[in-house]
Structures are given as structure tokens and as C-alpha cells.
Chain A
Amino acid sequence: MSHIIILPILIPLITAAVSLLGWKKRIYQKNMGVVGAFLLLVVAVYLLMHVYRNGIIAVQMGSWIAPFGITLVCDLFSAIMVLLAAIIAFATILYSCFTVDKDRESFGYYPLMHLMMMGICGAFLTGDIFNLYVWFEVLLISSFVLLVLGGEKQQMEGAIKYVTLNLLSSTFFLVAVGILYGLLGTLNMADLAIKIKTISEPGLITLVSVLFLMAFGIKAAIFPMFFWLPASYHTPPVAVSAVFAGLLTKVGVYALIRVFTLIFIQDTEVTHSLILGIAAFTMVTGVLGAAAQNEFRRILSFHIISQIGYMIMGLGLFTKAALAGSVFYIIHHIIVKSNLFLVSGFAHKVKGSFHLSKLGDMYRDHPYVSIVFLVSALSLAGLPPLSGFFAKFILIKSALEVGQYGIVVVALIVGLLTLFSMTKIWQEVFWKKMEGSKPVLSSVSGFALSGMFIPMVWLALMTVCIGFGAQFVFGLSLQTAEQLMDPTSYVAAVLQSQQ
């Protein structure tokens, strides 16, 4: 049954290839896109259940045994990430069906979306660090095209910053991989984890690890390398923003957590303290940046940055409970953040703007959408009993356990400021009375609006469920953290699976 591990990569690829057979047939590609995303979701659920019950699975591609060939590995962390990716893919592709314009659709919007999903799932599943680089490229190139598809002026402007910085980060990544290979003669991550202990110059390893920190840090948008994110995320269509916001930076976070729990653990005094410091700065700058913004999606973009800070805070603390907090936070964040972007798209559709000053009266016109926003926004700010509360609670508690009071103070203040930002949006967009606005302003059909509404409700319900089922999700996160903190089972699974 270990073949199932390749399905999250194959399904998007097959979907994209089959969609290409019907080039310029919009409706056909749309249908294929939805079907493919649904299949991906089903497989992802099954994969998580399988890994949860039977432990880590690893498959050697082309029967080349590790550490020589490329291994695909799926532990709980990978499985959770794949599932989250599938959830967001399904929700946003459904949403795209009602929002993306015909031009974009006929220039391969859906196949591109699936190619990007292939890259994302591949990055989560690979057990080879150079292969990770390749998957990064796959997802980046698709995301470049998705970002500029449509060719609006501001899209181009955002894309230049996005492309430049991501290429820079890829270069760092490649250089780091090269040095690592020169030092240790292997690229298999499990094998690296073993061989790195034998190295006689720990200083060099720390240096390489910082290079990795920079490479993944740019992709994850951590302080001080985040500025490409708010410059580009608000430019493409909302569905694309939502996927980017939910998933792309999290691929960087995933990679950080993976290499800094599996490979670079020999000098945690330096590396993980550095990460913790960066986490604090990331949180603060993100949330302060958001406070200064007046554009719906730009506010949300800055909040991504501050939330990334929480995720890597768990990594920086480097205890089991803290990592569980990080995993919980990622689960919570991906769903909530994507949903907030979807809401911003809804507001844009009915009110014709993303600027807070030009929006208003949403609560009067669309009370149900407002509730969806409120649930997500309060969850983001961390109010009980929603998912964000538990995510922050676990992180802060674990920080207190190890006596890192500084980061606790920062995390709490940032939570408060997040609430301030969210109430600002609520005030401006949902409660504010607009002068001279008609109660129903829209050329948009009710059908399209309800179509957009479905994925939003779905994601909002998931947020609520994570909040109420926090016990279960926390259990899962804790188990994931156990696997991450003790890589022996991961290493054993990779090096002994001789299939």
C-alpha cells in the first residue's frame, strides 16, 4: 500500500496533463480542475489515516535504494501538510470557478494551479534535499505564471519583486545544498542526519545551516526577508492570493522545521536561539506593518508574516510541546488565512474595491459572510474557543515551561495587535455605513455569490471544528512533534525500506 505516497504528486500532474489535452476548452478544464482537487483531497485524507495507523512510510523511486536514489517519505508532519494543501486546493479551486475571468481560464489557469499543487505536495513528501530544491522550483515557476497571468500592471510590479527574491533564495538554497554535499557526500535527508554527527568541524555545519535558514527564510517570509510578500500577494486574483497565502510560505516553514529538526540539531544553542530571535522580530514587524495598511489584502498579507513568527517560535524553542504548538499553529493558520483572503474577494466582488475606505455595509448586505469573516478573524487573533486560541495557548505555555518570558510577552502583545487589526477591518468593511450606497449593488449573480460562499463556509466550519476538537488535533500535533524530535524512526523508515 506504500504506493499511495506518490498519489498526491501524480493526481495533480495527471489532472494538469489531461486538462492540457483540452486546450482553450474552459469548461472542460474547470471540471477537470475540480475533479482533480477532489481526488487529491480524498487521497490526502486516506494518506493521513494510513500514516496515523501504520507509521512512517517510505518508497524508493525507481527502486534505487536509499541513500543513492530519491526517497519519498511520509511521516505525520508530511501527511498533515499534504492534507492541508489538498483542503486549500479544493476550496480555492471551487472558489475560482465563480471568480476567475474567462481570459485567465482559457490560458491554463486550472492546469497551472494543479502543477503548483504538484510542486507543493512533492516538497512535503520528498526525503531528498536536492529533490526538495526541484519541487521548490516546480511550485515557484507555476506560481510565477499564476502571479502574472492576466498581465495587469500591478501584477507585473508585484511579480518582479516576488520573482527576484525567490530566485535569490533558490540560489542560496542551491549553494547550501552544494556545500552540504561537498562536506558529507550525500543528499538523502535521513542519511544526512546520520553522517552529520561524524563531521569534525561543527562550525562549518552551523554556517551551512544558516545558509539554509536564509534560503527557506526568504520563502517563509521571516524577518528581515519578508518584504516581497506584502508587495506581491495582493496583486493576483483572490483565489490565487488565497492559495499563496495559505500554502506557499508554509512550504518554507515546513522546510525549516524539517531541516532544523532532522539535520541541523548539533548546535541548537546558536541556530535555534537565532530562530527564536527572528521569530520575535517577525511577529512584531508583521503586525505593526499590518496596522499601517488600509488595503484589505495588504493587511492580511502583513498578518501572514506575523503568524509565520508564531510558527517558527515553536521551532526556536525546540521542545516537544513547542513543536506540537507549531504544528497546531500551521494547521490552524493555513485554513483561517486562506479563508480571510476568500472573504476579501467576496467583498471585492460585491463592493468593487479592496480599500477599506471604499468598503462598508457588508454586515447589512451579507450577514452570513460577515459571520464567516468574524469566525476566521477572531480565530486568527486567538480568541477562545476558536482554533487560534489553542494554537497560541500551546506555544505560550511551552515557552513558559522553558522560561523564555521575552517571547511570551511578544507573542501576547502581537495577539492583541492582531485583534486590533481585525477589528479595524470589521469596523471599516462590515459595520461602517457607506454614504449613498445602495443596499444591493451588484451585477454579480446570486448563483456566483453562493458558489463563492460554499468554500468559505466550509473553511470556517473547519476552524470551528479544530477549536472544539482541539483535544484531538493537539494529540495529533503532539504525536507529530514526537516524530520530529526523535528522528530515529524517520531515518529507519528511509534507510530500511528496500521496496
Chain B
Amino acid sequence: MHSIILRTATVFLKYLLLVFSVYLLLGGHNEPGGGFVGGLVAASAFILFAIAYNVEEARKRLRIEPAVLIGIGLLTALFSGLIPVILNKSFLTGVWFHGHSEIFGDIHIGSPLFFDVGVYLVVLGVTVKIIFSLLEEV
């Protein structure tokens, strides 16, 4: 689509959407959001790019082949399930790390975070893959 307005806006919107997607991902543990929604928002950034410019350009911006993203996402989610197994707990049990630092205050990092990151990547990969394939076919 040749629209100067859309193209210019996309450049800015892309960053906005990506930052927002990470915000959704991280906030998802306690508030509405999570890996799935975050992944969709992130995918929309690249899809917008593909519509404003073209798929090739969007692929370049994504840098990684969507199928590879799916693979990385699956492995990340798996990893979160396997952490407790190493600690001799049942698969997928939530394991939490509690720490304290001067700058960030109290930190709680749990294995579910990695699961959500995995979901984020899988959703991003799948959505982008589907939309790119459809756009390329047109």
C-alpha cells in the first residue's frame, strides 16, 4: 500500500507496539495481559509494517524466520517446565527466586515468566508466519 501517512506512522507505531507488547508480557502475571496478548501485539507491529511497506521489508525487520521463532518459543516454554524437574519437583511446578537490589527494590522472578516468554515467541512466530504467507500469496 502506498500511503506516506501510514508508512511514516508505522515507523513510530512499530516501536510503540513492541514496547507495549513487552509491557503486557511482563505485567501479565498480576494484571490483564500475558504472553499470548503480548505476542499478538508484537505480531501486529510487524504485520502493520508488512501492510504499509511489503512482506520482504517486514521480514528484514523481523530478522528471524518465523518458524525459528516458534522453535525458540517452544524450547523456552519447555525450559520453564524443566527448571523444577532439576530441583526434583514435578514438571511445570512454579519455582520462584526472590531477591533484593538497591535499584529495583524487591525482585521476584518465577519460572512461569519463562513460560510466558515462550508463549509470546510462539504466538508472534505463528501469527506472523500465517499473515506473511497470506500476504505473499496475494
Contacts and interface: CB of A to CB of B under 8 A. Distances in A.
Contacts of B74: 13, 16-17, 20
Contacts of A10: 78
A63 interface: yes
B92 A61 contact: yes
Interface string A37-62: 00000000000000000000001111
Given A10-B78, A13-B78, A3 B91 contact: yes
Interface in B72-124: 72, 74-75, 78, 84-85, 89-94
Contacts of B71: 16-21, 23
Interface string A131-155: 0000000000000000000000000
Nearest to B90: A63
A23 B68 contact: yes
A194 interface: no
A31 interface: no
Given A3-B85, A13-B78, A108-B67, A21 B72 contact: yes
A112 B2 CA distance: 38
A160 interface: no
B78 A14 contact: yes
A6 B91 CA distance: 8
A17 B78 contact: yes
A60 to B, nearest CB: 6
A499 interface: yes
B70 interface: yes
Interface residues of A, number: 21
B94 A62 contact: yes
Interface in A86-130: 108
A404 to B, nearest CB: 44
A433 B92 CA distance: 61
Contacts of B85: 3, 6
Interface residues of B, number: 17
Given A3-B85, A14-B75, A20 B70 contact: yes
Nearest to B125: A20
A437 B132 CA distance: 49
A23 B67 contact: yes
Interface string A1-38: 00100100010011011111111100000000000000
Contacts of A61: 90-92
B90 A499 contact: yes
A21 B94 contact: no
Contacts of A62: 90-94
Contacts of A60: 90
Contacts of B78: 10, 13-14, 17
B93 A63 contact: yes
A19 B84 CA distance: 25
Contact of A20 (B67, B91, B93): B67
Given A6-B85, A62-B92, 20 more contacts: A6-B91, A14-B78, A17-B71, A17-B72, A17-B74, A17-B75, A18-B75, A20-B67, A20-B71, A21-B72, A23-B71, A60-B90, A61-B90, A61-B91, A62-B90, A62-B91, A62-B94, A63-B84, A63-B93, A499-B90
Interface of B: 65, 67-68, 70-72, 74-75, 78, 84-85, 89-94
Interface of A: 3, 6, 10, 13-14, 16-24, 59-63, 108, 499
7 contacts: A6-B85, A10-B78, A14-B78, A21-B68, A21-B75, A62-B90, A63-B84
